[in-house]
Structure 1
């Protein structure tokens, strides 16, 4: 049972990261936490590794500029999730197995700041990449945004090092994160983290909705000379799944942070731990959105469907005519999509 109290008194020369919660903490060693963290981390690493191999094979086979660009974004997302799990899980599992003393191992907070920056960087990257992928699909062009996303997330993660926010040891002593507080620069950084994440989700939702409506218009158009749109539909389905996963996993934490600092109520440690664990499921579920929802997999599940026809929508002509009737007056122009 974890005790949310420090067993070491604070002094005037206490480093900043230990000024709120100072290890070592009084708790009974339990192997359950080590097992949970090990299984959770291993599952996430394996999922992203499988997704990366599948993406690499798909990238070598594709001849579509549009799909190549989309696969690059997916690859960036998979690499980011993999590295995020590798870095954070290694630290958390090491703590649960050895119960090392943070203040003895890291008296100057360098290690704690590194983990805090990793949590922020690898937390914001999937949300920013999701918004960048939605933008790339919306304008239907090749846009090199992966490096820019990493740069933006990295700059935000470094802000506490210039006193915009601060990284602190978090209960039960196995991880570091920024201080969620309604005071001073901690308020600014907490709101920045929360709002950037929520804006990314909102932008993804808006652009994906427009792209889907546009894609339906194109697929249901009366121009029968259009080439196969299955690839575009497949990418949109995967992107929407990534957006839904990010929304479900991250919105509770982002809203919780904003609500805590704006209402000026004391931080609820158990709620923070719950929503942090909820958010980390994003790194496990992301790769399966691509692994499972590919045409190669769907062909195996539905072998009787004629996958060589002009478009997925042509498999259901009555549905296509219905959607075409409702979408014809809704759009005056469509976005041009890349073709194979």
Structure 2
């Protein structure tokens, strides 16, 4: 990175350490407790997913578990890399300018923050696309998408997030030291390339959340129609309901944790105002919760766990919707207008065919003597 006129490296040009340490803004206890909790949670989730992958016989379920495994690995590594740096600072209070005079370490942490921040959002959108295809076009997906292609999609997500995080190294944007001196992040500014990179980071995250919301909504509506429609007994959908519940919770958690930070960055850049440090730290902590809460979705919201908590939930039947017949009847009447045109004609034809043998049998009976 180029140095300024006073020989100050670029990453320290706006905020030069050492800062006055303010324990009320950043605490070693907060970073240690939540970092440890997140690492343990993701490790448990990875073990659960590995066992589920070994036992599963469903092709669509195995695809989904590969994406979940990529998300768990990403969250675990994100907490491990960034948490180690932050906790080390709070314990030792090292001087960044002495330890990292050429900004290499600061740039690495800034890249890590962007990379591990975008990966969960991109993976959430990729999982929404996979579930959308799996529910709406199951035959096409099952015949044309091997497991290796799913792994390639996860690797592609990592490549996209990594490419975006490396843009400041090429001169598009920059990474700077952030108060209280424990972390580096992109420069949230309305000046030139910094504005472009800040908007890119914010818009990519918001677009991923919007795509997830749109595709998941369509998938849920389609799944309800199939589960509660007139052909609800033709195909078991329990595992797909389980996957959609997990995916919806992942989307909700990501939206709650990341939207405040992404909107804050876009609003600050577009308005040209100065960054308010207290809000930046608050929304960063909100975003950190995403990596802590995500694994508990896979740990808790599984059929085996839900069946223990709620024994009346009989997953061995045709559909979990059969436990609530009044709700099923209501949804069936609501969806009949969209499904009845095709299914009604089929059932009418089958009914007509079933009546023909009965009539022919009665007419072909021999006359009584």
Conservation of the 8 A alpha-carbon contact between 1:31 and 1:96? no
- Pairwise CA RMSD of aligned residues? 1.8
Could you tell me how far apart the structure 1 residues matched to 2:223 and 2:26 are? 48
2:105 matches 1:97? no
Mapping 1:258-297, distance limit 5 Å: 258-297=266-305
Rg larger for: 2
Mapping 1:26-45, distance limit 5 Å: 26-27=20-21, 33-45=27-39
The structure where helix makes up a greater share of residues is 2
Deviations 1:136-190 (A, max 9, x none): 0001134522111101100000000001000000000000000000000000000
Match of 1:311 among 319, 331, 335: 319
Could you tell me how far apart the structure 2 residues matched to 1:89 and 1:224 are? 48
Conservation of the 8 A alpha-carbon contact between 1:181 and 1:190? yes
Could you tell me how far apart the structure 2 residues matched to 1:208 and 1:232 are? 12
User: In structure 2, do the counterparts of structure 1 residues 247 and 81 end up closer, same or farther at CA, with 3 Å as the change threshold?
Assistant: same
Shift of 1:217: 1.0
Three-state SS of the structure 1 residue aligned to 2:337 is coil
Shift of 1:27: 2.5
2:242 matches 1:238? no
Conservation of the 8 A alpha-carbon contact between 1:31 and 1:97? no
Shift of 1:328: 2.5
Conservation of the 8 A alpha-carbon contact between 2:22 and 2:180? no
Unmatched 5+ stretches in structure 1 = 1-9, 335-340
Mapping 1:187-266, distance limit 5 Å: 187-223=195-231, 225-266=233-274
Unmatched 5+ stretches in structure 2 = 135-140, 344-369
Could you tell me how far apart the structure 1 residues matched to 2:283 and 2:178 are? 14
Conservation of the 8 A alpha-carbon contact between 2:314 and 2:320? no
Mapping 1:12-161, distance limit 5 Å: 12-27=6-21, 33-140=27-134, 141=141, 142=145, 144=150, 145-161=153-169
1:182 equivalent in structure 2: 190
Shift of 1:232: 0.3
